[in-house]
Amino acid sequence: MSTRSQFQEALDMLRVDVDALGLMAHEAVAGSLAALVGDDRSAAERVVAGDDRIDALFVALEERAYAIVAQQAPVAADLRFLMSALRVMADYEKTGDKAVAVAKSTLADWYREPITLALLARMGDLSLALLDRARRAWLDLDLAAASDLKLSDDVLDDCYRQLAEHLLEQQGPEAPSLVLHAHAVGRNIERIADHAVIVGERVVYTLTGDPSALAAEIR
């Protein structure tokens, strides 16, 4: 096998393994949302406990990517891919952290008002769909799929605004706790979607070399 073929194989393996990290993050988000909607403390605790696995894989992949850069001195498209891989894996790790934050909110004592919970569940479904599409765009290096993610994120942002408006209307002794926790959960779900959009933008940048594709990342 030629040196170039070996290098390409290392890049392909890294891309696949970064997706494995994305899958772990996706599963953590799904678990945290299911725990929230079902008020399942055991499920929430499993999400919190499982974050160490995400962190460990992130560190291992980061070290591997830096080793490839140091050993191969890549240029142009290969360097863009490696720099994007580092950013994508960091966003997946942060996605896992947001899942933990949602799970910890489930463990807290606050009133799950039905409309609020329904809005959070809707946001959660949208964020999971975005994350799944971002993963596929990364794994396949699919420019069209990556380019569509921002439009779907706008739908989630609208849902987040609905949540904020609904929370402003809450009254009674349980309102402060509800608003505090629900707003935190909503914000974490919204950030999960933002991380998915950044993954998509990194795919676009990797394939096109256009730095303007990184709009969400540099905001």
Task: Kindly list the structural domains of the chain, giving each domain's residue range(s) and its CATH number in brackets, ordered by start.
Answer: 3-214 (1.20.58.220)
Whole-number Å distance between alpha carbons of 98 and 8: 33
Tell me the two tokens of residue 31: 């678990």
Q: pLDDT per residue over 97-146, tens digit each?
A: 999 999 999 999 888 889 999 999 999 999 999 999 999 999 999 999 99
> Residue 214 above 90 pLDDT?
no
Amino acid 216: pLDDT: 63
Q: pLDDT per residue over 16-49, tens digit each?
A: 999 999 999 999 999 999 999 999 999 999 999 9
Whole-number Å distance between alpha carbons of 56 and 191: 22
**For 150-164, what is the HEC assignment?**
HHHHHHHHHHHHHHH
Amino acid 211: pLDDT: 86
The H or E element containing residue 33 is helix 3-38
3-state secondary structure of 103: helix
Stretch 46-65: mean pLDDT: 98
Amino acid 5: pLDDT: 80
